[in-house]
Structure 1
Amino acid sequence: MTRFITLFLLVATLATSAFATPIRIKDLVEFDGVRGNDLVGYGLIVGLNGTGDGLRNAPFTEEIMVNVLERLGVNVTGEQFRPQNVAAVIVTATLPPFSRQGGQIDITVSAIGDADSLLGGTLVMTPLTAADGEIYAVAQGAVIAGGASAGGDGAEVVQGVPTAGVIPAGARVEREVDFDFTGMSQIRLALRSPDFTTAARIEVAINTEFGRGVAAMLDAGTVLLDINATRAPSPAHAITRVENIRVEPEARARVVVDQRSGTIVMGEDVRISRVAVAQGNLTLRIQEEPIVVQPNPFAEGETVVLPRTDAELIEEAGTGLAEIPGGTSLSEVVGALNALGVSPRDMIDILSSIEAAGALHAEFIVR
């Protein structure tokens, strides 16, 4: 219980101080056009130590292997392949904004067949395409798998995920995204967490920095920046000056709980109205105590086992009905909830009940 109270108070302290310090605009928004592009490809990993795809269950692996060999000038028409050191994979990557030809990016490979592990494998040259179908990068290199597996005839031990891995700087950019950033006259700032108050504060902070009206709030998630009005030499110079302006953001009051781990996180603005709470647990205990009945000595008969079940329903003693006073600050709310003296998982049920009663003034999120 002491550990729970300490953890709960730590969360309260973090939440209270989360927005006490102004945050840079670059950490609150995304700039229009300054984003990455998703890439995907279908490739082949070779050099596995007998942990590759079973070609009877993954015929697509054989097809791509034939295509690779034929591109290299090897005629394999009509041949039967049964190697165990190859695996078909899906290759994914993100092309960062303003990437130039010759630059290198990280890639992720994931097995799509029945391969047991990608440890020790090498990805063969694989083109990566974007949503428009064009090839923007080519991937190749040694795979760093994220796990390990070992086993024998009777048992197998697997740690992590050996069927997925990464190749740092494993793809080289071959095509640049056609985007004229220098010719933009207006740039939209998209808030990662839309909020009218935060957007208004960003507008005021930018206009104060430049000393004139260069920014205008369009809605809760968008602020429009007029590049020409900033009198900056280029959009890049204007963004450099804007992104380092600090703003104190606002956020809705939220309570987020994770039922799997019993984690509870509360925002700074969470409030609870005055309520009364009673909480208790029921324990059902069942015990089998069979009785053996034997016939008398020298008498005809047989031994019989009679079943006997002892069932008991126990209700743990509680503190009765407890009052939670209305909290005017997060520390008061945390202190009132900790006064109930229950476990984190029981606290989740209590918070859910308080929210259902309309006394929890926050968005209640269960994950």
Structure 2
Amino acid sequence: MAISRARSRAARLLPLLLLILLAPLIYSVSRLRLSWAPEQGLNLSHPAATKRPDGLVLGPAAGQGRPDRLQCQGLKAVNKISLASERKDSGEPVSFVTVFTTYNSHPAGAGKVPSDAVTVGKHSYSKEERSMAILNTFVSFIQVSMPTSKVIILTDPKSKLAIHQGRATILPIEGNYSRGNLMLQRIKSYIAFLELKLVEVDQVNSFSNYIFTDSDMAVVDDLGHIFKRYPHCHLALTFRNNKGQPLNSGFVAVRGTSDGISKAIGFFRKVLEAYNVKYMKASRMLGDQLALAWVVKSYLPSAFGKISRPEIFTEEVNGASVLFLPCAVYNWTPPEGAGQFHGMPLDVKVVHFKGSRKRLMLEAWDFYNSTSQLSDMLCLILKSGRTKYDF
């Protein structure tokens, strides 16, 4: 009889025990359902629905009060007064080389404004036109800062590029320019280009130095001094204080002599080999930077001890004399990269609008066209750089 009463009591307590045990799970599920139920009148917004701003959002300029950083009063630069266009010729000619292609481009209907159009200044860009606008802006900045320099665009022979810039030329190079293979193809295109130039430099007495860059960069100062001040270096890379990706592949300078080109070809081949063997799973985005860092580290493990200090240094890598330049000056990115949280260095040479900053590049060029002041334009970039504007 006692056993029967005990069993009856346990049967009554069992649902209560189950409820206590399952209460946290029920609560979590109910919270999850609420967070995904904006359609039920709860007025809850999902993070993915956040709309990026249609215009520039100005904030405080980082680095205020530091004498080695750009100082701004509103959008007026206080201590950045030297313009590249006012400086004397830097000596040896410099050509910029970039890899660019188009995807699924087609002309917009005549007289129709696309629903996805974005307006910057007096210009409206459809989705298909935006990347071309970035490319043309890249060329325009070079024509302002280094007016005697040429721009060479390496591209898929199937691409149709509408470049209306006097000193820009298109050089088709065969390869696989698909989105997932573009970073790998970029290295191959660099090698193919340098092999062509190696033949040319052996046949003529004159030469040009080369700077290989991404097309979402604004050159805001003359870069010819790199080759003039460091005459024994074969190539130059940009570094930052980032353990995972200490070198940025968006800027590589190569001396245009026979020796310099030969050493650069050998270097790029090593990077290509590392890419193919180790980093194909990261081929779409980061494979080239990981391969670049691996090659440098395999030949020069001590170099990464110097990267925490933004100072120029030179080392030998696979027989090539490599100049290491700080990203803070030669590859400055708002708000990523070295130097952003301390402001913009006064001697900044290149601004890299990578990631979510593409529209800011067009806005900066539009602002420059209205003011003709590179220094003031840098204040616009500095004060706008913490907001995501990507198209």
Structure number with greater CO (CA < 8 Å, separation at least 6) is 2
Taking structure 1 as the reference length, what is the TM-score of the superposition?
A: 0.21
Q: Which structure shows the bigger proportion of residues in strand conformation?
A: 1
Q: Which structure shows the bigger proportion of residues in helix conformation?
A: 2
Taking structure 2 as the reference length, what is the TM-score of the superposition?
A: 0.20
